[in-house]
Protein backbone atom coordinates (compact mmCIF):
# COMPACT_ATOMS: atom_id res chain seq x y z
CA UNK A 1 0.00 0.00 0.00
CA UNK A 2 1.69 3.15 -1.23
CA UNK A 3 1.62 6.35 0.78
CA UNK A 4 2.63 9.61 -0.86
CA UNK A 5 3.45 12.58 1.36
CA UNK A 6 3.95 16.05 -0.08
CA UNK A 7 5.35 17.32 3.20
CA UNK A 8 8.11 16.35 5.57
CA UNK A 9 6.64 14.45 8.48
CA UNK A 10 10.15 13.46 9.68
CA UNK A 11 12.38 10.57 8.51
CA UNK A 12 12.13 9.01 11.97
CA UNK A 13 8.34 8.92 11.72
CA UNK A 14 8.46 7.34 8.27
CA UNK A 15 10.84 4.63 9.48
CA UNK A 16 8.75 3.93 12.51
CA UNK A 17 5.51 3.68 10.55
CA UNK A 18 7.07 1.41 7.91
CA UNK A 19 8.34 -0.86 10.67
CA UNK A 20 5.01 -0.88 12.46
CA UNK A 21 2.89 -1.50 9.37
CA UNK A 22 4.48 -4.15 7.11
CA UNK A 23 2.22 -3.50 4.15
CA UNK A 24 3.17 0.15 3.88
CA UNK A 25 5.56 1.81 1.39
CA UNK A 26 6.28 5.46 2.05
CA UNK A 27 7.24 8.08 -0.54
CA UNK A 28 7.91 11.39 1.10
CA UNK A 29 8.79 14.56 -0.81
CA UNK A 30 9.20 18.20 0.10
CA UNK A 31 6.48 19.11 -2.35
CA UNK A 32 4.14 17.54 -4.85
CA UNK A 33 6.26 18.58 -7.87
CA UNK A 34 8.79 15.93 -6.96
CA UNK A 35 6.33 13.05 -6.65
CA UNK A 36 6.64 11.89 -10.30
CA UNK A 37 5.18 8.45 -11.02
CA UNK A 38 4.14 7.91 -7.43
CA UNK A 39 1.16 10.14 -8.05
CA UNK A 40 -0.47 7.38 -10.05
CA UNK A 41 0.27 4.57 -7.59
CA UNK A 42 -0.50 6.22 -4.28
CA UNK A 43 -3.49 4.95 -2.36
CA UNK A 44 -2.96 7.31 0.56
CA UNK A 45 -1.99 10.97 0.27
CA UNK A 46 -0.55 12.99 3.15
CA UNK A 47 -0.68 16.74 2.46
CA UNK A 48 -1.16 20.21 3.91
CA UNK A 49 -3.94 20.57 1.34
CA UNK A 50 -2.64 23.58 -0.61
CA UNK A 51 -1.51 21.32 -3.49
CA UNK A 52 -4.68 19.24 -3.58
CA UNK A 53 -6.47 20.46 -6.72
CA UNK A 54 -9.11 18.66 -8.77
CA UNK A 55 -6.43 18.19 -11.47
CA UNK A 56 -4.12 16.48 -9.02
CA UNK A 57 -6.83 14.12 -7.79
CA UNK A 58 -7.55 13.31 -11.44
CA UNK A 59 -3.97 12.08 -11.83
CA UNK A 60 -4.03 10.07 -8.60
CA UNK A 61 -5.95 7.17 -10.09
CA UNK A 62 -5.61 4.84 -7.10
CA UNK A 63 -6.21 7.42 -4.39
CA UNK A 64 -8.60 6.31 -1.64
CA UNK A 65 -7.68 8.44 1.37
CA UNK A 66 -6.33 11.93 1.97
CA UNK A 67 -4.86 12.68 5.40
CA UNK A 68 -4.76 16.47 5.50
CA UNK A 69 -2.10 17.56 8.00
CA UNK A 70 -3.79 20.92 8.54
CA UNK A 71 -7.20 21.92 9.83
CA UNK A 72 -8.43 24.29 7.15
CA UNK A 73 -9.73 22.20 4.25
CA UNK A 74 -11.79 24.81 2.49
CA UNK A 75 -9.43 24.80 -0.50
CA UNK A 76 -10.03 21.11 -1.28
CA UNK A 77 -12.00 20.07 -4.39
CA UNK A 78 -14.99 18.62 -2.57
CA UNK A 79 -17.01 17.79 -5.69
CA UNK A 80 -14.19 15.62 -7.04
CA UNK A 81 -13.70 13.94 -3.66
CA UNK A 82 -17.42 13.12 -3.50
CA UNK A 83 -17.47 11.69 -7.05
CA UNK A 84 -14.53 9.42 -6.27
CA UNK A 85 -15.78 8.73 -2.73
CA UNK A 86 -12.36 9.56 -1.28
CA UNK A 87 -11.94 9.40 2.49
CA UNK A 88 -10.78 12.71 3.98
CA UNK A 89 -9.36 13.21 7.46
CA UNK A 90 -7.63 16.25 8.93
CA UNK A 91 -5.85 17.23 12.15
CA UNK A 92 -8.48 19.46 13.73
CA UNK A 93 -7.75 19.95 17.42
CA UNK A 94 -3.98 20.32 17.38
CA UNK A 95 -3.92 24.09 16.88
CA UNK A 96 -5.47 25.13 20.16
CA UNK A 97 -2.25 25.76 22.03
CA UNK A 98 -0.09 27.61 19.48
CA UNK A 99 -2.99 29.73 18.23
CA UNK A 100 -4.11 30.64 21.76
CA UNK A 101 -0.50 31.65 22.51
CA UNK A 102 -0.51 33.83 19.40
CA UNK A 103 -3.85 35.42 20.30
CA UNK A 104 -2.76 36.25 23.85
CA UNK A 105 0.52 37.61 22.40
CA UNK A 106 -1.24 40.09 20.13
CA UNK A 107 -3.76 41.07 22.82
CA UNK A 108 -1.01 41.73 25.37
CA UNK A 109 1.21 43.48 22.84
CA UNK A 110 -1.72 45.80 22.14
CA UNK A 111 -2.17 46.23 25.92
CA UNK A 112 1.41 47.41 26.46
CA UNK A 113 1.59 49.30 23.13
CA UNK A 114 4.55 47.09 22.32
CA UNK A 115 5.38 48.44 18.87
CA UNK A 116 5.43 52.03 20.15
CA UNK A 117 7.80 50.97 22.94
CA UNK A 118 9.93 49.22 20.31
CA UNK A 119 10.10 52.38 18.18
CA UNK A 120 10.98 54.41 21.28
CA UNK A 121 13.87 52.03 21.97
CA UNK A 122 15.14 52.36 18.39
CA UNK A 123 15.26 56.12 18.95
CA UNK A 124 16.64 55.84 22.49
CA UNK A 125 13.59 57.60 23.85
CA UNK A 126 12.74 57.21 27.55
CA UNK A 127 9.11 58.32 27.66
CA UNK A 128 6.79 56.99 30.33
CA UNK A 129 3.60 58.91 29.50
CA UNK A 130 1.39 56.24 28.01
CA UNK A 131 -2.20 55.18 28.46
CA UNK A 132 -2.10 51.63 29.64
CA UNK A 133 -5.43 49.86 29.97
CA UNK A 134 -5.17 46.52 31.68
CA UNK A 135 -6.80 43.51 30.06
CA UNK A 136 -7.95 42.67 33.60
CA UNK A 137 -11.74 42.95 33.60
CA UNK A 138 -12.01 43.39 29.83
CA UNK A 139 -14.39 41.28 27.74
CA UNK A 140 -13.24 38.93 25.00
CA UNK A 141 -15.79 37.71 22.46
CA UNK A 142 -14.68 34.54 20.71
CA UNK A 143 -16.39 33.32 17.54
CA UNK A 144 -16.21 29.53 17.58
CA UNK A 145 -15.95 27.48 20.76
CA UNK A 146 -13.99 24.48 19.45
CA UNK A 147 -10.49 23.50 20.56
CA UNK A 148 -9.01 26.86 19.56
CA UNK A 149 -11.74 29.07 21.00
CA UNK A 150 -11.80 27.12 24.24
CA UNK A 151 -8.03 27.31 24.69
CA UNK A 152 -8.12 31.08 24.15
CA UNK A 153 -10.94 31.37 26.71
CA UNK A 154 -8.99 29.27 29.21
CA UNK A 155 -5.98 31.56 28.97
CA UNK A 156 -8.13 34.71 29.01
CA UNK A 157 -9.65 33.58 32.34
CA UNK A 158 -6.15 33.64 33.88
CA UNK A 159 -6.14 37.35 32.99
CA UNK A 160 -9.53 37.80 34.68
CA UNK A 161 -11.22 38.66 31.41
CA UNK A 162 -14.91 38.04 30.82
CA UNK A 163 -15.24 35.37 28.12
CA UNK A 164 -18.13 35.35 25.69
CA UNK A 165 -18.42 32.61 23.07
CA UNK A 166 -20.52 32.28 19.94
CA UNK A 167 -21.47 28.87 18.57
CA UNK A 168 -24.25 27.40 16.44
CA UNK A 169 -26.49 26.17 19.21
CA UNK A 170 -25.59 28.45 22.10
CA UNK A 171 -24.71 25.42 24.26
CA UNK A 172 -22.41 26.07 27.28
CA UNK A 173 -18.69 25.37 26.92
CA UNK A 174 -15.96 25.24 29.58
CA UNK A 175 -14.05 28.49 30.27
CA UNK A 176 -16.80 30.66 28.73
CA UNK A 177 -18.77 32.90 31.08
CA UNK A 178 -21.51 33.25 28.52
CA UNK A 179 -22.40 31.72 25.16
CA UNK A 180 -24.57 33.24 22.43
CA UNK A 181 -26.02 31.26 19.53
CA UNK A 182 -24.99 32.42 16.04
CA UNK A 183 -28.39 34.11 15.57
CA UNK A 184 -27.37 36.54 18.33
CA UNK A 185 -23.94 37.21 16.85
CA UNK A 186 -24.27 41.01 16.80
CA UNK A 187 -25.26 41.09 20.46
CA UNK A 188 -22.16 39.07 21.37
CA UNK A 189 -19.97 41.31 19.21
CA UNK A 190 -21.28 44.46 20.88
CA UNK A 191 -19.82 43.43 24.24
CA UNK A 192 -16.27 42.56 23.19
CA UNK A 193 -13.27 44.75 23.97
CA UNK A 194 -11.44 42.08 21.99
CA UNK A 195 -13.19 40.07 19.28
CA UNK A 196 -11.49 36.90 18.07
CA UNK A 197 -12.56 35.06 14.90
CA UNK A 198 -11.60 31.36 15.10
CA UNK A 199 -14.13 30.21 12.50
CA UNK A 200 -13.45 27.66 9.78
CA UNK A 201 -14.64 28.61 6.28
CA UNK A 202 -17.91 26.87 5.43
CA UNK A 203 -21.06 27.83 3.54
CA UNK A 204 -22.44 29.19 6.82
CA UNK A 205 -19.43 31.27 7.86
CA UNK A 206 -18.51 32.89 4.53
CA UNK A 207 -18.43 36.67 5.09
CA UNK A 208 -20.26 36.20 8.36
CA UNK A 209 -18.55 39.41 9.53
CA UNK A 210 -19.59 42.32 7.34
CA UNK A 211 -20.39 46.01 7.64
CA UNK A 212 -23.28 45.41 10.05
CA UNK A 213 -21.14 43.24 12.35
CA UNK A 214 -18.29 45.74 12.57
CA UNK A 215 -20.85 48.47 13.27
CA UNK A 216 -22.15 46.34 16.17
CA UNK A 217 -18.73 46.31 17.81
CA UNK A 218 -17.49 48.92 20.30
CA UNK A 219 -15.46 51.70 18.69
CA UNK A 220 -12.70 50.66 21.09
CA UNK A 221 -12.85 47.02 19.91
CA UNK A 222 -9.70 45.24 18.77
CA UNK A 223 -10.39 42.54 16.19
CA UNK A 224 -8.24 39.43 15.77
CA UNK A 225 -8.62 36.94 12.93
CA UNK A 226 -6.86 33.60 13.13
CA UNK A 227 -9.71 31.63 11.51
CA UNK A 228 -10.12 32.08 7.79
CA UNK A 229 -9.83 35.34 5.87
CA UNK A 230 -12.98 34.70 3.85
CA UNK A 231 -15.16 34.56 6.98
CA UNK A 232 -14.76 38.34 6.86
CA UNK A 233 -15.91 40.82 4.23
CA UNK A 234 -12.41 42.29 3.91
CA UNK A 235 -13.66 45.48 2.24
CA UNK A 236 -16.01 46.12 5.16
CA UNK A 237 -13.20 45.42 7.63
CA UNK A 238 -10.89 47.90 5.89
CA UNK A 239 -13.63 50.53 5.93
CA UNK A 240 -14.33 49.91 9.63
CA UNK A 241 -10.63 50.34 10.41
CA UNK A 242 -10.21 53.43 8.25
CA UNK A 243 -13.30 55.12 9.70
CA UNK A 244 -12.49 54.15 13.29
CA UNK A 245 -15.68 52.10 13.60
CA UNK A 246 -13.34 49.77 15.48
CA UNK A 247 -10.00 50.63 17.09
CA UNK A 248 -7.62 48.16 15.46
CA UNK A 249 -6.94 44.64 14.28
CA UNK A 250 -4.38 41.86 14.29
CA UNK A 251 -4.84 39.74 11.17
CA UNK A 252 -3.15 36.44 10.47
CA UNK A 253 -5.48 35.34 7.66
CA UNK A 254 -6.83 37.09 4.59
CA UNK A 255 -9.29 36.71 1.73
CA UNK A 256 -6.29 36.21 -0.54
CA UNK A 257 -2.96 34.84 0.70
CA UNK A 258 -0.22 35.95 0.49
CA UNK A 259 -1.85 39.31 1.18
CA UNK A 260 -1.52 41.25 -2.12
CA UNK A 261 1.12 43.99 -2.17
CA UNK A 262 -1.50 46.61 -2.96
CA UNK A 263 -3.72 45.82 0.02
CA UNK A 264 -4.22 48.93 2.16
CA UNK A 265 -4.01 46.68 5.25
CA UNK A 266 -0.21 46.45 5.00
CA UNK A 267 0.32 50.10 5.88
CA UNK A 268 -2.54 50.87 8.23
CA UNK A 269 -1.26 52.19 11.56
CA UNK A 270 -3.93 50.38 13.57
CA UNK A 271 -3.41 47.01 11.88
CA UNK A 272 -0.94 44.27 12.66
CA UNK A 273 -0.31 41.83 9.80
CA UNK A 274 1.23 38.36 10.20
CA UNK A 275 1.67 35.82 7.39
CA UNK A 276 -0.71 33.04 8.48
CA UNK A 277 1.67 31.77 11.16
CA UNK A 278 -0.50 31.55 14.26
CA UNK A 279 -0.76 27.76 14.06
CA UNK A 280 2.92 27.10 13.35
CA UNK A 281 4.92 25.57 16.15
CA UNK A 282 7.79 23.27 16.98
CA UNK A 283 5.19 20.91 18.45
CA UNK A 284 3.13 20.67 15.24
CA UNK A 285 4.32 17.29 13.96
CA UNK A 286 4.43 15.85 17.48
CA UNK A 287 0.68 16.37 17.61
CA UNK A 288 -0.25 15.75 13.95
CA UNK A 289 1.64 12.51 13.30
CA UNK A 290 -0.07 10.51 16.09
CA UNK A 291 -3.44 11.38 14.51
CA UNK A 292 -2.23 10.11 11.12
CA UNK A 293 -0.77 7.02 12.77
CA UNK A 294 -4.06 6.20 14.47
CA UNK A 295 -5.96 6.71 11.23
CA UNK A 296 -3.46 4.58 9.29
CA UNK A 297 -4.03 1.68 11.69
CA UNK A 298 -7.79 2.16 11.34
CA UNK A 299 -7.49 2.20 7.54
CA UNK A 300 -5.31 -0.91 7.37
CA UNK A 301 -7.53 -2.82 9.76
CA UNK A 302 -10.64 -1.78 7.86
CA UNK A 303 -12.21 -0.20 10.92
CA UNK A 304 -14.18 3.03 11.16
CA UNK A 305 -12.83 4.82 14.26
CA UNK A 306 -11.05 7.59 12.34
CA UNK A 307 -9.98 10.72 14.15
CA UNK A 308 -11.34 13.81 12.36
CA UNK A 309 -13.14 12.16 9.44
CA UNK A 310 -14.55 14.99 7.34
CA UNK A 311 -18.16 14.94 6.18
CA UNK A 312 -17.76 15.73 2.46
CA UNK A 313 -21.23 17.26 2.32
CA UNK A 314 -20.83 19.52 5.33
CA UNK A 315 -17.19 20.21 4.42
CA UNK A 316 -16.02 19.94 8.04
Is residue 133 close enough to count as binding a copy of itself by CB under 8 A?
Answer: yes
Which residues inside 229-288 make contact with a copy of itself, applying CB under 8 A? 257-259, 261, 266, 272-277, 280-283
- Map residues 150-169 to x or -, x wherever contact with a copy of itself holds by CB under 8 A: ----xx-xxxx---------
**Considering the complex, what minimum distance in angstroms separates the CB of residue 208 from a copy of itself?**
25
Is residue 215 close enough to count as binding a copy of itself by CB under 8 A?
Answer: no
Applying CB under 8 A, the span of 60-68, 83-91, 123-131, 185-193 interacting with a copy of itself comes to 123-131
Among 26, 102, 214, 299, binds a copy of itself (CB under 8 A): 102
- The residue among 186 and 266 lying less far from a copy of itself, judged by its C-beta, is 266
Is residue 220 close enough to count as binding a copy of itself by CB under 8 A?
Answer: no
- The residue among 112 and 183 lying less far from a copy of itself, judged by its C-beta, is 112
**Considering the complex, what minimum distance in angstroms separates the CB of residue 276 from a copy of itself?**
6
Q: Is 154 a catalytic residue?
A: no
- The residue among 60 and 106 lying less far from a copy of itself, judged by its C-beta, is 106
Q: Is 33 a catalytic residue?
A: no
Distance CA 118, CA 58 (A): 51
Is residue 114 close enough to count as binding a copy of itself by CB under 8 A?
Answer: yes
Is residue 118 close enough to count as binding a copy of itself by CB under 8 A?
Answer: yes
- The residue among 127 and 203 lying less far from a copy of itself, judged by its C-beta, is 127
- The residue among 169 and 282 lying less far from a copy of itself, judged by its C-beta, is 282
Strands 194-197 and 271-273, sheet pairing = unpaired
**Which one of 247, 276, 287, 294 is the catalytic residue?**
276
Q: Is 203 a catalytic residue?
A: no
Task: Single out the residue of 20, 24, 19, 12 nearest to residue 67, CA to CA.
Answer: 24
**Which one of 38, 95, 111, 228 is the catalytic residue?**
228
- The residue among 202 and 281 lying less far from a copy of itself, judged by its C-beta, is 281
Report the b/e string of 62-92 with b at 16+ CB within 10 A: ebebbbbbbbbbbbbbbebbeeeebbbbbbb
The sign one gets for the Cα dihedral 76, 49, 32, 257 is: positive
| Residues in contact with a copy of itself by the rule CB under 8 A | 97-98, 101-102, 104-106, 108-109, 111-112, 114-115, 117-118, 120-121, 124-128, 130-137, 154-155, 157-160, 257-259, 261, 266, 272-277, 280-283
Catalytically annotated residues: 228, 257, 276
Amino acid sequence: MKILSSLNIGENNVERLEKKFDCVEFYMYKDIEQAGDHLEDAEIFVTFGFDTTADLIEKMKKLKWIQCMSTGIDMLPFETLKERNILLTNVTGIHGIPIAEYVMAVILNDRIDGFRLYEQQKNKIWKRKMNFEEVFGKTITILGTGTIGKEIARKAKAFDMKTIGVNTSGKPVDYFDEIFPTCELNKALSQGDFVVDTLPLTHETKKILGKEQFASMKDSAYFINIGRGATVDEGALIEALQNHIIRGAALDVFEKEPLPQDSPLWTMKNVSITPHISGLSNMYMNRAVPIFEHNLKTYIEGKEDYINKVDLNKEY
